[in-house]
Amino acid sequence: MELLTKKVKGAEDILPCDSYKWQFVEDIMRKEAECFGFKEIRTPVFEHTVLFNRSVGETTDVVQKEMYTFDTKGGESITLRPEGTAGAARAYLEHALYNNGLPVKVYYQLTCYRYEKAQAGRQREFHQFGMETYGASDPKADAEMICAVNGIFNRLGVDNIRLEINSIGCKSCRQDYTNALKLYFEEHKDKLCPTCLSRLDRNPMRILDCKNEACHEIAKAAPTVLEYICSDCSQKFNKVKTFLNAADLEYTVNPTIVRGLDYYTNTVFEFVTDCIGAQSTVCGGGRYDGLIEELGGQPTPSLGFAMGIERLLMVMDAQGIEIPKPKTCDVYIAALGEDAEATAFRLVKELREASFNAEFDIVGRGLRAQMKYADKIGAKFSIVIGDDDLSANKAVVKHMKIRDEQYEVPLDERFLDEFIKIYMDIYQKTISTSLNFNEN
């Protein structure tokens, strides 16, 4: 029986008392993306496994250790998306979005799945918000992408978050670097974990982001990629910095950032904070000029980022950022007796059609209990309807916090207009006093 009421490890519920926080940040992110001309894309939660093997990379931690991969009843290998870039790139190609002209700019909000050790800021199902630009080679695009992330943090009021950037060069300068890494790690072969040992020949750069303590220690003294990038890549990196300066964005160059996914080239960046413990990277991204070609498309310089929403909310919580509470009930109609209940039902319907948040009793409570409930849910107004009110064709309206004043509304077709007048009247009064009309 226990399994019926226990969620799967590493997955979290977002409860009604918290969902407004998610809606708030999602809204802000959507608005920011749209200011930059990005449109939303929604892709399936699963894809053919080969898509991730090919794009994220066979020797990455994500593919080697973290994917939820299974065979369907039809014998296909399917994987729950561990990230959003691969699916978006697949959709870009499948639907020939490039036919609408370049650049193509998309954003997404989605759940991701990685079989990792669950801990604070690290879940097996988690949420990412991300943006991708296809068909833009200019370093201005890199700076624009970074600005968009920064804009989100600004709008949310998040501060004390560091922007760290690096360049990991192009395919050809990466070759020299890979050789240098090979030589370095060969010398420390005996201390590497078995996965990294197998990466030594195939992709030594992946050893740099291995989470194993011993590998991590050795990686600290490894040659850094910036020493090896070609002059073209170096120039591009300088341009990115120039545009970041022009936008007044502070950054530090961190030559150890290589990102854990194989598709990155040139600019990579992370937004890092000290206020949420060990899982300190809130957002990671960069350029991936080879990905679209790798998936069978024309060479298409592209770039993107993904932000972890759980970590973002942890930062906001740690920084004491208040998220506006959702609107509560505008008006609760309490009723006693069958006829009054039917009238209440009709009026609630009218109010809701006019976009008021209106409620009435649906559990069979007595009048006192209904009023108590109205208080509990933070109703701004109450209307009480009994038999006498029905015969008089009017009922009393009260503001739940200004109880000494009361108003009357007719219960016939004039009801809505009259109620709106009272509502606006009290609204006017309360904005000029310390009593906040919208206070819960």
Binding stretches for ligand ATP (CB under 6 A): 83, 114, 116, 121-123, 126, 128, 260-261, 279, 281-284, 306, 308, 310-311
| Least distance (Å) between residue 60 CB and ligand ATP | 9
Residues whose CB is less than 8 angstroms from the CB of residue 213 and which lie 6 or more positions away in sequence, other chains included: none
Q: Is-contact 129 83, C-beta < 8 A?
A: no
Query: Cα(82)–Cα(63) distance, rounded to whole angstroms?
Result: 9
Shortest Cβ 196–ligand ATP spacing (Å): 16
Q: Which is nearer to ligand ATP, 57 or 260 (CB)?
A: 260
201: left (phi over 0), alpha (psi -120 to 50) or beta: alpha
CB of 114 to ligand ATP, least distance (A): 5
Torsion of CA 64, 68, 71, 74, to 10 degrees: -130
For residues 151 and 106, is the Cβ–Cβ distance under 8 A?
A: no
**Residue among 109 and 128 whose Cβ is closer to ligand ATP:** 128
Alpha-carbon Rg for the chain in angstroms: 28
Quote the strand ranges of 288-388, DSSP E.
302-308, 331-335, 358-360, 381-385
In angstroms, the CA 383 to CA 97 distance is 54
- Nearest distance in Å: CB 307, ligand ATP: 6
* For ligand ATP, the closer CB: 131 or 306: 306
Shortest reach from residue 117's CB to ligand ATP, in Å = 9
Nearer to ligand ATP, 188 or 311 (CB): 311
Is the CB of 123 or the CB of 430 nearer to ligand ATP? 123
Asked whether 312 and 126 are in contact (CB, 8 A), the reply is no
Residue closer to ligand ATP by CB (options 152, 283) is 283
Residue type, 255: P
Strand-pair partners of 105 = 133
From the list 374, 305, 384, 383, the residue with the least C-alpha distance to 337 is 384
Closest CA to 235 of 262, 267, 199, 269: 267
Q: Which of 161, 157, 382 is nearest to 282 (CA)?
A: 161
Other beta carbons less than 10 A from residue 337's beta carbon: 14
Which C-beta is closer to ligand ATP: that of 83 or that of 164?
83
Token pair listed for 187: 């010398």
How many whole angstroms separate alpha carbon 128 and alpha carbon 259? 16
Closest CB to ligand ATP among 143 and 313?
313
**CB of 293 vs ligand ATP, minimal distance in Å:** 21
**Of residues 133 and 430, the one with the C-beta less far from ligand ATP:** 133
In this complex, which beta carbon is closest to ligand ATP, that of residue 195 or of residue 234? 195
Q: Could you tell me whether strands 331-335 and 358-360 are parallel, antiparallel, or unpaired per DSSP bridges?
A: parallel
Minimum CB distance to ligand ATP, residue 102 (Å): 25
Nearest approach, Cβ of 126 to ligand ATP (angstroms)? 3
| Smaller CB separation from ligand ATP, 2 or 213 | 213
Which of 87, 131, 83 lies closest to 111 in space, CA to CA?
83
- Residue 177's Cα: distance from chain center in Å? 34
CB 152 to ligand ATP: min, Å: 13
SS3 (DSSP) at 217: helix
CB of 403 to ligand ATP, least distance (A): 47
Bridge partner list, 69: 79
- Smallest separation (angstroms) from ligand ATP to the CB of 426: 44
